[in-house]
Amino acid sequence: EELERRRMAASVHARIDSEVVVTACRVRLARLLGNLMANAERHTTTTIEVVVAADSPHAVLEVIDDGPGIAPADRERIFERLCRLDDARRKDPGGSGLGLPIAREIARVHGGDLYAADHPTGARLVLRLPLAA
The parent domain of residue 99 ranges over: 2-130
Nearest to 49 by CA among 12, 20, 16, 18: 12
pLDDT of residue 94: 57
Mean pLDDT of the region 25-54: 95
The residues, any chain, with a CB within 8 Å of residue 118's CB and separated by 6 or more, are: 72, 124
Is this structure's pTM higher than 0.85?
yes
Q: Count structural domains, the chain.
A: 1
Instruction: Give the C-alpha separation, 59 to 70, whole Å.
Output: 23
Q: Is the pLDDT of residue 82 over 90?
A: no
CATH code (residue 61): 3.30.565.10
